[in-house]
Amino acid sequence: MDKSEIIERLEAIAVLLELQGENPFKIRAYAQGARALEALEIPLDVLIAEDRLATVRGIGSALADKITALHESGELPLFDQLKAKVAPGLLEMLEIPGLGAKKVRILNKDLGIDSIAALQSAAESGSISNLKGFGVKSEAKILQGIRNREAYSARHLRWNVIPVVENILSGLRSLEAVQQAEAAGSFRRGLETVGDLDFIVASKDPEVVMDWFVKQSHVSEITARGQTKSSVRLEDGLQADLRVVPASQYAFALHHFTGSKEHNVALRKRALQRGLSLSEWGFDVRGGNSQPLPSNIDNESALFDALGLANIPPELREGYDELKLAEAGSLPKLIKCSDIKGAFHNHTNASDGHENLEDMAEGAAARGWEYIGIADHSKSSRQANGLNEERLLRQVDAIAAYNQRDDACCHIFSGCECDILPDGSLDLADSTLEKLDYVIIAVHSAFTQPREQMTRRILRAMEHPFVTMLAHPTGRLLLKREPYEVDMEAIIEKALAKNIAIEINANPKRLDMDWRWWLKAAKRGLKTSINPDAHRVEQLGYIAAGVLTARKGGLTANSVLNTQSLTEIISWLEQRES
DNA sequence: GCCGTTTTCGGCCCGACTGTTTTCAGTCG
Ligand SMILES: Nc1nc2c(ncn2[C@H]2C[C@H](O)[C@@H](COP(=O)(O)OP(=O)(O)OP(=O)(O)O)O2)c(=O)[nH]1
Ligand SMILES: [Mg+2]
Ligand SMILES: [Mg+2]
Ligand SMILES: [Zn+2]
């Protein structure tokens, strides 16, 4: 098995153990082990070959043995035994809000329920409400959960919820009772998809704020309403949580509600090691320690400082190695939107874009950019009206002519998004590619090739001397199409060796290469280009989504080609040619 | 199952909300 399959296996084991009523800390050990694998910076094969797996934090000798077994044979008796004992339907039942492992176990043991269908008929017949721990309300909630299972469990593209967030946020901020308000959670961390919306407010009058929140017109249901916290379901099934705290505790609450969970747990553990208990309400002494509590914590930076850490930007709070970096003072200085000076991967109506060269150039200039690269599709992408050699050379001439014009508002670079054919050769002749300022290569066909073949194919294409950057290296469409199978570690190696950039495709549905890979690749010096892949002028705005992904990946402006000025880009491109 | 300026057992983040609880367990964030 490869690493990602082993990670899935360990996560599955954690859930299965939970359904067996196992020790929660053992369950967490499996989940932590999966995360530790995810964060590995040394290839798994190497660690196994050198017998160093158990030296990884979060992986002990027991997990090391199991991971090794999975890696070598894919077989693990523990998993097979668990699979045999736990009905697959129980996993689906966990998706129903209000049903956790304990309740699912009771339903299974006492009523023999082992599927959503059985759960539904039991609830409809009223037999669940007689069980201990259940009642009429929980029975009704189960039925509602089944009816809306898809809507309730769906994640949403961050980009699509921005208007909803801004709307709620401005509503909150317009209330007199609200002193401060922020969108927190995965949204604030810039995650590509969000499971819900999380809002945090500082106020002296929580009642007023929560009243407003739960009475918004697009609220379909109030799922919780307490002293400091409310949850609602919005019309499309998206959940929104609100937490209201006094201004004096806002920094703690904002940090808590921003997460991630794993980051919070790590930070709280660090506090404990220093004799402090940390919660969303503040610090408390732990055990017999009687040192004075840190005071005047009125922003997140002060909170981190009290724990001996540099201020960690929300995008980096995913519970990987950000605490270590913050302690050492070696957090990266993350790229900002204002660092962007242009963009390379954009289309015109020559292929499947909707606007012409001049429009795109004007759009770039309107953003204050110095240049724009046009990279239309190549001929084998027929569905996208890809350009053959002749049409592309005409575009090269048109761009040259545009750049000569006195009224040119922005420099245009001639490029193309050249298909990587199924055998790894490029779609356009060298004699044509040679005439371009730069060449982007991308897979647009034969997505289902086996991993080895896909990897060989892309590596072969990257050997081509004219290649400047690799576009959307996994082809994923968030929430829609899985990434195709490819060995990203090998691709990253090759890109480093050949001085090829890997793009961050900034289309909010792609955000590919993923920030999780960038966390590792950034440290190794791999360059990126944040590419809007705009098919119309308006979509140049996707750049913001790409910058967020770059920030999550720990990238500085230096690692991003399109933070360079026009003159720097020109000399860099010339240099590459020689 | 992992881990150790409390080193090989006894901890493991901490709190809000709900429902059915008669004093708190389970779920969720
Ligand atoms: N300390 C602590 N904080 C938690 C825990 N679970 C959630 N939080 C905090 C951190 C989360 O970012 C924040 C909001 O919770 P969510 O469940 O909405 O998670 P988040 O927004 O990170 O991801 P999401 O996209 O909603 O799935 O609450 C937990 O178990 N412990
Ligand atoms: Mg959330
Ligand atoms: Mg939430
Ligand atoms: Zn296109």
The per-residue DSSP string of A1-46 comes to: --HHHHHHHHHHHHHHHHHTT--HHHHHHHHHHHHHHHT-SS-HHH
What is the separation, in whole angstroms, between the first and last Cα of chain A?
A: 42
A264 CB under 6 A from ligand 1?
A: yes
Class of domain A337-577: alpha beta
pLDDT of residue A363: 98
Question: Which amino acid does the sequence have at A109?
Answer: K
> What is the model's pLDDT at position A290?
65
- Rounded distance in angstroms from the CA atom of residue A30 to the C1' atom of nucleotide B8: 21
Q: How high is the pLDDT of residue A21?
A: 94
Distances in whole angstroms, Cα of residue A481 to Cα of each of A90, A157, A474, A484? 26, 13, 10, 9
- Cis peptide, bond prior to residue A260, ω within 30 of zero: yes
Residue nearest to atom 14 of ligand 1 (CA): A185
Q: Quote the pLDDT of residue A286.
A: 82
Strand ordering across the sheet containing A239-245: A178-183, A196-203, A239-245, A229-234, A219-225
- In 3D space, the residue among A93, A151, A188, A193 whose CA is nearest the CA of residue A480 turns out to be A193
* Domain A156-245 architecture: 2-Layer Sandwich (3.30)
- The protein footprint on chain B, as nucleotides within 7 A of a CB, is 1-4, 6, 11-21, 25-29
Q: Which helix (H) or strand (E) holds A262?
A: helix A261-273
Whole-number mean pLDDT of chain A? 96
Q: Cα(A234)–Cα(A256) distance, rounded to whole angstroms?
A: 23
Answer yes or no: is the C-beta of A269 below 6 A from any ligand 1 atom. Answer: no
- Name the amino acid, one letter, at A71: H
Q: What is the DSSP string of A95-133?
A: TSTT--HHHHHHHHHHH---SHHHHHHHHHHT-GGGSTT
Measure A35 CA to ligand 2 centroid, in angstroms. 19
pLDDT at residue A577 in the model: 76
Angle at A478 between CA A475 and CA A484, to 5 degrees: 30
Reading the block at residue A274, the tokens are: 């220093």
Nearest to A258 by CA among A325, A319, A173, A205: A319
A411 to A254, A328, A528: CA distances (angstroms): 43, 42, 21
C-alpha–C-alpha distance, residues A414 and A416, integer Å: 7
Q: Are A303 and A252 in contact (CB under 8 A)?
A: yes
Residue nearest to atom 31 of ligand 1 (CA): A261
Contacts of A413 (CB under 8 A, 6+ apart): A344, A371, A372, A373, A374, A399, A437, A438, A569, A573
CA A280 → C1' B17, Å? 16
* Among protein residues, the one whose CA lies closest to atom 6 of ligand 1: A261
Q: Is the CB of A477 under 7 A from strand B?
A: no
DSSP labels, A171-224: HHHTSTTEEEEEE-HHHHTT-SEESEEEEEEEES-HHHHHHHHHT-TTEEEEEE
The CB density around residue A407, as the number of other CB atoms within 10 Å, is 6
Q: Which atom of ligand 1 is nearest to the CA of A265?
A: 1
Q: H or E element: which one contains A418?
A: strand A411-419
The answer to whether residues A43 and A108 touch, using CB atoms and an 8 Å cutoff, is: no
Pairing outcome for strands A276-279 and A371-377: unpaired
Nucleotide nearest to A58 (CA to C1'): B2
Model pLDDT, residue A567:
97
Residue nearest to atom 23 of ligand 1 (CA): A186
Q: Judge if the beta carbon of A272 is closer than 7 A to nucleic acid strand B.
A: yes
Ligand sitting nearest the alpha carbon of A279 = 1
Nucleic strand B under 7 Å from the C-beta of A133: yes
Domain ranges of chain A: 3-153, 156-245, 258-328, 337-577
Compute the distance from residue A398 Cα to the ligand 3 centre, in Å: 51
Q: Is the CB of A102 under 7 A from strand B?
A: yes
User: CA A169 → C1' B27, Å?
Assistant: 28
Ligand nearest to the CA of A269: 1
Rounded to whole angstroms, the distance from the CA of residue A258 to the C1' of nucleotide B16 is: 16
Q: Which fold has domain A3-153?
A: DNA polymerase; domain 1 (1.10.150)
User: Rounded to an integer, what distance in angstroms lies between the CA atom of residue A82 and that of residue A557?
Assistant: 48
Identify the residues numbered 208 to 267 in chain A whose C-beta atom is closer than 7 Å to any atom of strand B. 224-231, 239, 241, 257, 261, 264-265
Centre of ligand 3 to C-alpha A394, Å, is 53
Domain A3-153 identical in fold to domain A337-577? no
CA of A297 and C1' of B23: distance in angstroms? Answer: 36
Predicted local distance difference test score (pLDDT) of residue A342: 98
ipTM, two decimals = 0.96
| Dihedral of the alpha carbons of A336, A338, A342, A345, in degrees to the nearest 10 | 40
Closest residue by CA, ligand 1 atom 21: A185
- Which residue's CA lies closest to nucleotide B14 at its C1' atom? A279
Nearest alpha-carbon partner for A234 in A204, A260, A197, A259: A197
Q: Is the CB of A439 under 7 A from strand B?
A: no
> Mutual orientation of helices A543-552 and A158-173 as an angle, nearest 10°?
90
pLDDT at A209: 97
Closest residue by Cα to the C1' atom of nucleotide B12?
A: A25
The Cα–Cα gap between A320 and A41 comes to 11
Q: Token pair for residue A269?
A: 């553990």
* Two structure tokens written together for A537: 């002028």
d(CA A274, CA A280): 17
- The SS3 call for residue A498 is helix
Query: Which parts of chain A sit beneath pLDDT 70?
Result: 287-290
Residues A137 and A423: their CA atoms lie apart, in Å, by 60
In this structure, which residue's CA is closest to atom 3 in ligand 1? A261
**In terms of CATH, what superfamily is A258-328?**
DNA polymerase, thumb domain (3.30.210.10)
